[in-house]
Amino acid sequence: MTPRKIIIDTDPGQDDAVAILLALASPEIDVLGITAVAGNVPLPLTEKNARIVCELAGRPDVRVFAGCDAPLARPLVTAEHVHGKTGLDGPQMADPTMPLQDQHAVDFIIQTLREEPSGTVTLVPVGPLTNIATAFQRAPDIIARVREIVLMGAPISRWATSRRRPNSTSMSIPKPPRSSLPPVCLWLSCRWMSRIRR
C-alpha cells in the first residue's frame, strides 16, 4: 500500500505532539513536512516544539517550517494555562539540533501542492487554520489540488457551545468557496469523538 502523503499543520501543544508522534511512526503515512503556526503558544515555541517532537520520534529528517505568527483577524490568544509555558511542559526535553527550514510554511504548502500530483496530498491541520487560510488566499488554484483536509476541531459539548466559547465549533469547519474539497473533522472531545464527512 502506498503511504498517504500529508502535511501536518500544527501548534504543539502536548495534544499535537502525540498526533505528530503517531503520524511519524505510521508506515501508512508519508509526512512531507510539518508547518508550525502560532496557537497554543507563540510561533517561536511551536516551531521549536515541532522539531523537539521530530527528534523524539527519531525523525530529524522531517522538514519543519515556521508559518504565521498571529491570526488573520484578531489578536493571538494562547493556551499556556493548558500546555504550560513552553507548550510541552512536563518531561524535560533537550533543545532541538535539527534545523528550521528557511522557507515560510505558507510558501511550502503552496509549492508542495503545486508540485505533487493533484489529489495526492492531504492537509492535516491540528491547530489554528491560519497557515491553510493564508495559502488558500494567496494561491486559490491549490484548493482543487488538495486530496482532503483532516482537521482537529473544537469540542462538541455543552462547554464548547456555551456563552464562554459561542463560536468554537462553527469556526472549525473550513468552507472553501465553490469547492468540492471534502473536509474530515475529528472533534476534540473526550466523551464525544466523531468522524464527520461532508
What residues act catalytically?
Answer: 11
Nearest residue to 43 via CA among 93, 78, 14: 78
Give the 3-state secondary structure of 38-105.
Answer: CCCCCHHHHHHHHHHHHHHCCCCCCCEEECCCCCCCCCCCCCHHHHCCCCCCCCCCCCCCCCCCCCCH
CA atoms within 13 A on the CB side of 178: 2
Residues in a beta bridge with 7: 33, 123
Helix, strand, or coil (residue 23): helix
Interior CA angle at 178 toward 125 and 185, to 5°? Answer: 30
Q: Closest by alpha carbon to 24, among 49, 56, 47?
A: 56
Q: How far apart are CA 82 and CA 84, in angstroms?
A: 6
